[in-house]
Amino acid sequence: MDRTLRTLVIGATGNVGREVVDRLVAAGTAPRALSRRAGDRAGVGAGETVVGDLAEPATLEAALTGVGSVFLVWPFLTTEHAPAVLDAIGRHARRVVYVSSSGVDDTAERQTDPIRQLHADMEALIEKSGLERTVLRADTIASNARGWAGQIRAGDVVRGPDTAATAVVDERDVAAVAVRALTEDAHKGATYVLTGPQVISRAQQVRAIGEALGRPLRFEAVPADVARERMLADGRPPALVDALLAGVGTRPASELITTTVEEITGAPARTFASWAADRADVFR
């Protein structure tokens, strides 16, 4: 890639996106972090902030000027604006790195839940766009556990819907692979499945956070309807709540563990316990 061209980070205020911005800066590149509002640098980290709204693709033109590669996290539950966004990207950049789900099944006519279906649809649109693309199919990302912070600060029990254990992957490892894909030519056309080094349940995740805090914490599974009421009370949009809960009963158990993080970055994937130790202040 031409290192004089910028990398636009879409999703820069998210847990993975912030890590991507900081690692691009450390690698000596010049990232741009996309924001919906002028002057909003909260949570973006280092680098330049530019204004644009994925729901209004015409606003992306200035943000994409001088850009050679794009890191993409899709924030919506439908692909409604995606074709126009990808068209805008294609007029400026030649490479896109997209964060997808390890649960996407290439052999299935339909995926098992709406979130996985969205990722499969986005992958298909990116393929159709003609852009150079790298797809990062990430397993459950460790930073999802931040959603338990309020309950952990308030007590010793985390209540929520249970789901099949997976090889939870640290967002820093996803970002490290993303930066390689954004800045190196060797990853063109690749689809990488990124996991952590061990399959871990929600109960084990909660226990690991407790160990990091020096407190005995436990997970208590609750029915989906109870979880829905709590999630709605926390202010989450109903459509998002329904999409998240749709996968609770349909996602199969997975023993999948890959070595892709280490193969690409040279460093082994972090354990969830190490993530919890490094993020303990989030839960205090």
Closest Cα to residue 86, out of 51, 50, 31, 132?
A: 132
Say how many domains are in the chain: 1
Tell whether 22 is covered by a domain. Answer: yes
List the strands of the sheet with 6-10, edge to edge. Answer: 48-51, 31-35, 6-10, 67-72, 95-101, 132-138, 191-194
So what's the pLDDT on residue 42?
46
CB 221 within 8 A of CB 160: yes
What amino acid is encoded at 263 in this protein? E
The greatest distance separating any two alpha carbons of the chain, rounded to the nearest whole angstrom, comes to 54
Tell whether 203 is covered by a domain. Answer: no
pTM (2 d.p.):
0.93
In the chain, what percentage of residues exceed pLDDT 70?
94
Tell whether 192 is covered by a domain. Answer: yes
Tell whether 281 is covered by a domain. Answer: no
So what's the pLDDT on residue 262?
98
Closest Cα to residue 223, out of 233, 235, 211, 231?
A: 231
CA atoms within 13 A on the CB side of 107: 0
Mean pLDDT of the chain, nearest integer: 92
Does pLDDT of 52 surpass 90?
A: yes
Cα gap 124→134, rounded to integer Å: 12
Q: By residue range, what is the domain housing residue 30?
A: 6-142+170-196+257-269
Cα gap 236→232, rounded to integer Å: 5
Closest Cα to residue 274, out of 129, 154, 171?
A: 171
Tell whether 1 is covered by a domain. Answer: no
The mean-pLDDT minimum among 96-100, 130-134, 161-165 falls in 161-165
Cα gap 173→194, rounded to integer Å: 8
Cα gap 98→137, rounded to integer Å: 8
Tell whether 153 is covered by a domain. Answer: no
CB 179 within 8 A of CB 23: yes
What amino acid is encoded at 215 in this protein? R
CATH classification at residue 134: 3.40.50.720
In the chain, what percentage of residues exceed pLDDT 90?
79
Tell whether 45 is covered by a domain. Answer: yes
Closest Cα to residue 95, out of 133, 64, 122?
A: 133
160-201 pLDDT per residue, tens: 999 899 999 999 999 999 999 999 999 999 999 999 999 999
Tell whether 24 is covered by a domain. Answer: yes
